Amino acid sequence: MFRKIKLASLLLAAVCVLCGLMLLTNPEGTARAVCRVVGVVLLITGVLRFLDRDGATGAAIGFGMANGAFDLAAGVALTFFAGLILSVLNIIVGLLLLVGGIFGLRPALDAKALGTRYWPAALACSIVGIVLGVAMLAGCFSAVSAVFWICGMALLIYGLEQAVVIINLLRN
């Protein structure tokens, strides 16, 4: 029994490595695929919410119609306009980084005036936020690609680490 669990864990580690490699080699394509899968799920739940009725009265239950309409709209957007959604997401993240960096400058300079020991780190973080925000808004790189690349790297490392542990356990 324990050996079967180890083999199943080894298979899961291999799947993690493969998914990590897929995310590393094609982050944009994976992001579009994830958008489309989530979109299809939202389309299905939207239809189901529209069809969800009270058996006695035949009326919509609670906010079923409103939730169904929202799910359908989000599902259509994610399924058929994944590229547009992902590009808008990049702009939103870029603006958040830029604004956060700008608003972080004042506290960093206040910390310097108060003689706080770690004010250079706060200032550096604000400047990095501003630079990254401007770079994202200029289209230098995609936040979506970066997030999926990081997730791919994490899955790859996790899968390899698990494989090493399980192979060592199988030997014993």
What's the confidence (pLDDT) of residue 53? Answer: 64
Residue 6 confidence (pLDDT): 76
Integer CA distances (angstroms), 143 to 42, 126, 154, in order: 23, 18, 16
Listed as ranges, residues in the chain with pLDDT below 70 are 1-2, 53-64, 169-170, 172
User: What confidence tens digit (pLDDT) does each residue in 74-116 have?
Assistant: 999 989 998 888 878 778 888 988 999 999 888 888 888 888 8
DSSP string, 5-69: HHHHHHHHHHHHHHHHHHHHH-HHHHHHHHHHHHHHHHHHHHHHHHH-B-TTT-PBPTTHHHHHH
Predicted confidence at residue 172, as pLDDT, reads: 65
Q: What is the pLDDT of residue 91?
A: 85
| Per-residue confidence (pLDDT) for residue 146, from 0 to 100 | 80
Give dist(CA 139, CA 133) in Å, integer: 10
Please report, as a single letter, which amino acid is at residue 166: I
